[in-house]
Amino acid sequence: MTDRLTTSRVTTARGDAVTYDLRGEGPGLVFVAGAGPFRAIDPITTETAERVSRQGVTTVVHDRLGRGDSPADGVLDLERELAALAAVIAVADRGTGRGAVLCGHSSGCTIALAAARVGLPVTGLVLWEAPLGDDAAATKEWIDEFERRLDAEDYVGATEQYMKDMPPEWLEGMRRSPDFAELARGSRSQRADGESLVRASAALEDGTLASVGVPVLATYGTSTFPEMPLSARKIVDAVPHGEVREVAGAFHSWEPVAMADVLARFVRDAVGR
């Protein structure tokens, strides 16, 4: 099978332009990044997409709105992000009508869950370390303050708020960059992450996550934070067709060789269903 790369751009129903990398032939797989990454700074996802595409899968890795080569103005909320996701699912589908599997990373997991819940053509979900350890009330309080700072154009403050419960060395690493102020502007693209985290947390508590009828594989790394296996189990317990699996990985990132094999097998099984 081929992993030949095509880089192109698709326009969403909302008029946003989304740049993506397309590889391979076969059933579709779309990677949904979490709160920070985009193609140019995410070699792990790129390598994984390359490896999966060699196993008979069409892979799409895109820059989310407001990141990398997908610049966007205005309020980048979850509805715009879902429109972008719908557009790249259509790219991965290649006109077959089969839709695509979504692979979410971190808060990208909750965007992927939102896509399935609103009826986008999703055939399955692979979720890597969904950060759903807090209850819905605490999650909403955290995001409300993040959005307050974002709306005030306090991008540094918004970044600090979004990252306040993450390992402190992550934020300190950003601060050491001479481009920190510009990096902090990337918080504009995290509104969709916040909204999807609030929705997913509430759906876990009120039982409505059961509306996700597609197969769900909730994964976490062999070396990870204690809440990640717990979050994976919470998701699987809430959906009709779920499985939990540990996959080689550390520091909130998967190991590309191991994850590629898991993804290729999951996509083939989804097509078989």
Residue type, 17: A
**pLDDT tens column, 70-93:** 999 999 999 999 999 999 999 999
The structural domains of the chain, with segments of one domain joined by +, span: 5-132+210-272
Beta bridge partner(s), residue 134: none
- pLDDT of 1 strictly over 60: no
What is the third-level CATH fold of 5-132+210-272?
Rossmann fold (3.40.50)
Cα distances from 100 to residues 18, 51, 96, 133, in angstroms, run: 17, 17, 10, 27
Share of the chain above pLDDT 90, in %: 88
**The pLDDT of residue 2:** 57
**pLDDT tens column, 15-57:** 999 999 999 999 999 999 999 899 999 999 999 999 999 999 9
Beta bridge partner(s), residue 243: 217
Q: Which residue has the tokens 């062999």?
A: 222
The whole-number average pLDDT for the span 157-172 is: 89
Length of the chain: 273
Cα distances from 185 to residues 106, 157, 159, 182, in angstroms, run: 20, 10, 8, 5
**pLDDT tens column, 196-247:** 999 999 999 999 999 999 999 999 999 999 999 999 999 999 999 999 999 9
Strand 242-250 to 253-254 pairing: antiparallel
**Packing angle between helix 256-272 and helix 43-53, nearest 10 degrees?**
50
* Prediction pTM value: 0.96
The whole-number average pLDDT for the span 139-150 is: 97
Provide the greatest CA pair distance for the chain: 50
